[in-house]
């Protein structure tokens, strides 16, 4: 069982300039969501960062809300929280796959996202994974976002050339035509 295994966690990053995160939560299972939020807040605050919180109707709306915030607001990173418990239909598979895929696509576009969407077989699994005193998956998602923010800041000024010189540099080098 995963709950009894030991796992390594990276130490939280330190920031010269405080980070600002948006926690986006789907509170369909309110008690589980509240535990995920508590874990995320504790890790974010423990790192000296700040957070805002918004709620969306369900896990499928998490990527959309994060995409909107990425375009229209000024957050350094995002923590996606929610819980999907397997039911009797294939809706579970759709929600799990599409919400994760949406978050991954946003991440590949440069958004710093910690994915804390629990995908479980039953409520008992969700409770153990959500509890800050248990597996603390909310805290883990916040830590993931913070690490990605730190990497983004570390690499922010470093750009690779595109294989050609801009026209002004070409002229300054004494060349008359390209």
* Active-site residue list: 91
Q: Supply 170's token pair.
A: 């070409």
List Cα–Cα distances, 149 to 1, 26, 132, in angstroms: 31, 23, 22
CA–CA gap between residue 73 and residue 166 (Å, rounded): 32
Host H or E run for residue 66: helix 62-72
Backbone φ, ψ for residue 69 (5° rounding): -65, -40
Q: Supply 154's token pair.
A: 């570390």
Q: How many CB atoms lie within 10 A of CB 93?
A: 12
Query: Which residue positions form the known binding site?
Result: 28, 59-61, 83-85, 88-89, 115, 129
């Amino acid at each position: 069982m995963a709950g009894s295994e030991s796992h390594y966690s990276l130490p939280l990053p330190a920031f010269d300039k405080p980070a600002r995160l948006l926690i986006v939560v789907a509170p369909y299972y309110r008690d589980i969501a509240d535990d995920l939020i508590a874990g995320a807040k504790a890790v974010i605050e423990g790192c000296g960062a700040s957070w805002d919180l918004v709620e969306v109707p369900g896990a499928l709306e998490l990527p959309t809300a994060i995409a909107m915030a990425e375009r229209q607001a000024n957050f350094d990173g995002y923590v996606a929280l929610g819980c999907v418990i397997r039911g009797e239909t294939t809706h579970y598979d759709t929600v799990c796959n599409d919400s994760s895929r949406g978050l991954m696509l946003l991440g590949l576009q440069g958004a710093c996202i910690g994915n804390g969407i629990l995908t479980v077989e039953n409520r008992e699994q969700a409770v153990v994974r959500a509890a800050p005193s248990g597996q603390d998956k909310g805290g883990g998602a916040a830590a993931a976002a913070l690490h990605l923010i730190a990497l983004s800041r570390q690499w922010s000024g470093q750009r690779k050339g595109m294989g050609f010189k801009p026209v002004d540099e070409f002229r300054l080098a004494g060349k008359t035509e390209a």
